[in-house]
Structure 1
Amino acid sequence: MTSFNRSTSRRLKKLTQIPSVWEGDRRPLSSPNQHSNSEEKGECILWVDYSQGVVRGMDVVASDVGPEAIVRTLMRAMEHPHSPARPARPQRIVVKDREIQFYLRGVLQDLDIAIDYAPELPLIDELFRGFADILDSQTPDLPPQYAQILREKAFAIWQAAPWEFLEEQQILSIEINKWDVGTLYASVMGMLGMEYGILFYRSEDSLKQFRTAVLQDEESTEHLEEAFLKQDCLFLTFESADEDEDEDDDEESDLADLPLSEIDPTFGNIHPLEGLRSVLYDEEALVIFVAIESLIRFIRDHRRHLHEDIFPTLSRRYRISLPQSEESIKSVAVTVSTMPQLAAELEEMAGFGDDDEEIDNLNSANFQSLQDDLIPEDSFLSLGVVSWEMLDHLRKGVTYHKAGEIKQVGDGLPVILIQTSRPKAKTVIERIEAAGGLRAICFNPGADPFDGDRYDLGLLQTQNGELFLFGEFLDEDPIHVEARKKWNQRCKNTKGYCGLIIAKGLTGASRGNPQLRDMMALFETRSLSPKDLGIGTLQLMPQLKLE
């Protein structure tokens, strides 16, 4: 058995011993009327002076913490008690747990304190009854009768991952016409890999007002918070179940990389007069259940169409059976529809259409041929990101071609890095400059008609309209799939801006990891989608030809 150091015992014995009886106990933090697992909430350790009727020490500990915890709390109750008590040690301690009694007798044997047992502890019993009343009066985050089914539906949405193909401005209307709710407007968050969830706006006006406020006050944290609290919506968001996990901005912190067991859904309500509330009441729980279930079905039925570059016009009616409740109705008819016109309006508000003319100019270029002789065959190639801080240094130290004013949003500028030998790097730079510079970077689908393989082809387009192949990647390569996902997210963040870095040092110590001193040129440019490029699927033959 662990015992006090002799110096500790001497220190405690110097405390004034008062003619008081103290009660001590540890009990689960739960109420008999609650169905939650008490182990999740831990246990409360209490030490009270029964003679004076005051709490001298209290701690909350995990349920699996050993008996040492009750001694630690007792030490604080003696040396650093809660006000108005003063430091002291009692003449007598009473507990209602035989194991605690025997443990304390061994530990406190040098302190001249009597350790007794009693089947009841009047003052502590009264305090814990008060704790139980407080717990019973607390409103749970979700109505108990709907909590399990709502969590199940939340995980179903997480696995459906609508943020992989729906952007925040691509709104889905969910017509319910029940519980004083007409139509909800669902906005999916998560395509940028930052926050995952779905906002269910109660009106189209609330959605537009929030978007307008955010666009006007992007740099003001205070105004953004005010705009956030003025929304009128229900929400489902996802967080890491590990609250102690460090939050940082690197790719490893992406919630989508975590297993399902480490994902925690949160429901709630935002209203201008209520603010943020992470609690749902009965009717709200039914509304969000119906909204999520209808959304799950709509995604299941139209996933292929929703993946298309153009936000399609779709509508589907469902009858949703309600979970057991006091409601007299058993099911609700719901209509889910896409809103392409609203999506276009929101895109226009955000300035997404500012570069349409430039893209049209790109599409009108004459694509004479696709060449594969610009990038040397033995080059090292990677898709990555350059931090904004490093980008400033890079612009000052290399051959630099600017594409426009790039807003610094996200973790940096997405870049394609080509590393080769110094002479070959110089040749690549000269050829791009001779062609007028770099106009765009694009990933375009390719197919091999002989073996059926499908490819993601990396293309560089120069200002004179020529296309150059810089990489062939199998569609099924998981490393490339993940790299492309991050590339797309970053390009959306920068409104399409990206870059090409040409570096030397392929045969040196920095092979595969070029340093700033190895980088010879930076071409800032735009990222184009296959639709923007408009050349269709490329067939891989002995010579690449346009379809």
Structure 2
Amino acid sequence: MTALNRTTRRRLQSLRQIPSVWEGDRRPLSANLAALGELTESHATAVKTEADCILWADGSEGVVRAMEMVPPETGSEAVVRTLLRAMEHPQGPGKPCRPQKIVVRDRQLQFFLRGVLQDLDIVVDCVPHLPLIDEIFRSFQDVVNSRPPKTPPAYTEALTQIAFQIWQDAPWNLLADHQILAVELNHGDLETLYVSVMGMLGMEYGLLFYRSQDSLERFRASVLQEEGSPETLEEAFLAQDCLFLTFDSADEDLDGEEVDLAGLPVAEIEPAFGNLHPLEGMRPFIYEEEAIALLVCLEALHRFLHQHRRKFSADDDLVPALSSRYRIPNPEDQGATAIAVKVGTLPDLTAKLLEMMDQTDDEGEDIQPLLRDDLVPHDAFFSIGAMPWESLSMLRETTDVHQAAPRSFPEEGDGFPVILIQTSRPKAKNLIAELQKAGGLKAICFNPGEDPFEGNRYDLGILQTESGDLHLFGEFVEDDPVHTEARKKWDRRCKQTQGFCGLVIAKGITGVSRGKPQLRDMVALFEVRLLSSKELGLGTLQLIPQLG
């Protein structure tokens, strides 16, 4: 058994001992109850899975002194840690002190605490009931039972079905977030909803239904003007006035990981509905009127996307002028008169939002770093290697995007030297679009870099576009033996091809082909020159730490 060290015992013995009885317990919480998150002022972590709640309360004063949420597999040491916090750093108005007696309802825990707390003059007893803690847990359960469901039960099935239809429609493959659609509902308290689609960058997937054009424009202006601090972005986020449908992974093991949902099976996708309002904040559930409005809007959008899909181009920043009218069954009463809905694009608003983005980019040109880090997705897989000549010939014929070399070069050696960048399909699509927007890829370079504060030296992988911009695609530790060997082979192959190499962009980062894409996964091939660091003329680049 782990014992308290002498220093800790002396520190606890110096606390004033009061004639009170503390109750202590550890109880499992269901996922719904654990998800309440902030059960006390001292505990602000939201828990999505089942957890154990450790609670220490002063039965004489009727106050909670400490509480902690822990995974079920955590040992009894966590109970002791929470007790020590209750004594030395109690939450709320309590002052540091040591109880005269503590009571628990678990015999094994009683024996454990007796062994740990010896020499502290604290009596440890076991009792069948803990009145104060029982009441606290009942109040927790009452809070859960009083919370409304995420969606009204009468509309849950219909909302789930239409959400998955939208997922299959994948509007983010057609529309960027500035390409706004209008849904003229004119039902209940809602007139026109302005729909922004999230997901073209392969990050968050969903739809935002703004209740006013003003709210949409103010939010986008705030995000573009702010410097990006968490506080200002959160304030702008909570100031939105909209309903939303978002998609997430149903696999709780993936929580917090950067996973492109587009690569997951439909069975692992989970839709979520909610509301944002400046005075209400974010509400992760919707009421009946909101559910009805979303059902009608989503069905109308589904029909609109099905009807006009071929008229959209993901490569165009603007949108064509399109509109259609639909009669959607009334979710409240299928026998009632259908609801007339009009869905259309907003070319003028789209152009306005695009202009706002361009102005922000222009204003920031003077402060852009020499070497940019905003082209290649941060979660992309990249490698230095070679492609067999037969595969190169096939790829030239089959890939969606091919930028040929400016002249022919000898196909000698064991293969064509290539940089592989593998990411999700939407992010690959966006990466290709950005390269094409910059006039194409001009060269691939490697340049020395260093961190003067840590003393580390790097080999920086750089993509140079025809527009002259330099984009970092990888940082390699200079003395890494694996990279050193890869660079030797790369340099030898580039000499054999008279300085020509390639960039291959592939999809499928979340599937079985991660790190080893097949030809069918490769969506772009750029054949370019290798530019030496001397030709680049940058010298050794130094890491500049960000202040603040």
TM-score (norm 1): 0.57
Corresponding position of 1:188: 197
Q: State the Cα deviation string for residues 275-330 of structure 1 (Å, max 9, x = none).
A: 554442221122223322443354355544545877474636354473xxxx4556
The answer to whether the 8 Å contact 1:31/1:132 transfers is no
Q: State the Cα deviation string for residues 169-201 of structure 1 (Å, max 9, x = none).
A: 444443444333234332212223454321223
CA gap 1:501/1:518 in 2 versus in 1, 3 angstroms: farther
Corresponding position of 1:42: 51
Give the Cα separation in 1 of the matches to 2:127 and 2:328.
Answer: 61
Is the aligned partner of 1:235 residue 2:176?
no
Q: Which of 329, 349, 354 is the aligned partner of 1:350?
A: 354
The answer to whether the 8 Å contact 2:32/2:144 transfers is no
Note the residue ranges of structure 2 that are not aligned, 5 or more in a row. 38-46, 359-367, 378-383, 385-393, 410-419, 447-488, 495-500, 503-529, 539-548
Give the Cα separation in 2 of the matches to 1:338 and 1:24.
Answer: 59
Q: Which of 277, 284, 287 is the aligned partner of 2:293?
A: 287
Give the Cα separation in 1 of the matches to 2:86 and 2:136.
Answer: 17
Corresponding position of 1:508: 491
Helix, strand or coil at the partner of 2:200: coil
Give the Cα separation in 1 of the matches to 2:216 and 2:175.
Answer: 16
Is the aligned partner of 1:51 residue 2:57?
no
Give the number of equivalent residue pairs: 414
Corresponding position of 1:269: 275
Corresponding position of 1:4: 3
What does 1:411-422 align with in structure 2 at a 5 Å threshold? none
Corresponding position of 2:25: 25
Corresponding position of 2:533: 517
State the Cα distance separating 1:154 from its structure 2 match: 3.7
Corresponding position of 1:70: 79
The answer to whether the 8 Å contact 2:329/2:337 transfers is yes
Corresponding position of 2:187: 178
The answer to whether the 8 Å contact 1:22/1:50 transfers is yes
CA gap 1:274/1:78 in 2 versus in 1, 3 angstroms: closer
Give the Cα separation in 1 of the matches to 2:222 and 2:100.
Answer: 65
Corresponding position of 2:438: 497
CA gap 1:89/1:230 in 2 versus in 1, 3 angstroms: closer
Corresponding position of 2:338: 333
The answer to whether the 8 Å contact 1:173/1:338 transfers is yes
Which piece of structure 1 moves more, 89-98 or 130-139? 130-139
The answer to whether the 8 Å contact 2:327/2:339 transfers is yes
Give the Cα separation in 1 of the matches to 2:232 and 2:78.
Answer: 46
Give the Cα separation in 1 of the matches to 2:14 and 2:292.
Answer: 63
The answer to whether the 8 Å contact 1:49/1:55 transfers is yes
Q: State the Cα deviation string for residues 102-151 of structure 1 (Å, max 9, x = none).
A: 44345445655443332322222233334344444555554455556645
Q: State the Cα deviation string for residues 507-545 of structure 1 (Å, max 9, x = none).
A: 7258469575176699xxxxxxxxxxxxxxxxxxxxxxx
Give the Cα separation in 2 of the matches to 1:13 and 1:214.
Answer: 55
Q: State the Cα deviation string for residues 400-444 of structure 1 (Å, max 9, x = none).
A: xxxxxxxx97669xxxxxx9xxxxxxxxxxxxxxxxxxxxxxxxx
Is the aligned partner of 1:163 residue 2:159?
no
Corresponding position of 2:402: 458
The answer to whether the 8 Å contact 2:183/2:194 transfers is yes
CA gap 1:129/1:271 in 2 versus in 1, 3 angstroms: closer
Corresponding position of 1:123: 132
* Paired amino acid for 1:22: W
Corresponding position of 1:104: 113
Corresponding position of 1:202: 211
Corresponding position of 1:429: none
* Paired amino acid for 1:21: V
Give the Cα separation in 1 of the matches to 2:49 and 2:57.
Answer: 25
CA gap 1:321/1:5 in 2 versus in 1, 3 angstroms: same
Note the residue ranges of structure 1 that are not aligned, 5 or more in a row. 247-251, 355-387, 393-407, 413-418, 420-445, 462-466, 471-478, 523-547
The answer to whether the 8 Å contact 1:410/1:493 transfers is yes
Which piece of structure 1 moves more, 47-56 or 217-226? 217-226
* Paired amino acid for 1:67: S
State the Cα distance separating 1:7 from its structure 2 match: 3.0
Q: CA RMSD in A?
A: 5.3
State the Cα distance separating 1:163 from its structure 2 match: 0.5
Helix, strand or coil at the partner of 1:199: strand
Corresponding position of 2:256: 245
What does 1:282-431 align with in structure 2 at a 5 Å threshold? 282-300=288-306, 302-306=308-312, 311=320, 313=322, 315=324, 317=326, 319-320=328-329, 322=331, 327=332, 333=338, 339-340=344-345, 342-344=346-348, 346-347=350-351, 350-351=354-355, 389-391=369-371
Helix, strand or coil at the partner of 2:491: coil
Give the Cα separation in 1 of the matches to 2:77 and 2:131.
Answer: 24
State the Cα distance separating 1:53 from its structure 2 match: 3.5
Q: State the Cα deviation string for residues 376-405 of structure 1 (Å, max 9, x = none).
A: xxxxxxxxxxxx64548xxxxxxxxxxxxx
State the Cα distance separating 1:455 from its structure 2 match: 5.1
CA gap 1:104/1:501 in 2 versus in 1, 3 angstroms: same
CA gap 1:230/1:27 in 2 versus in 1, 3 angstroms: closer
TM-score (norm 2): 0.57
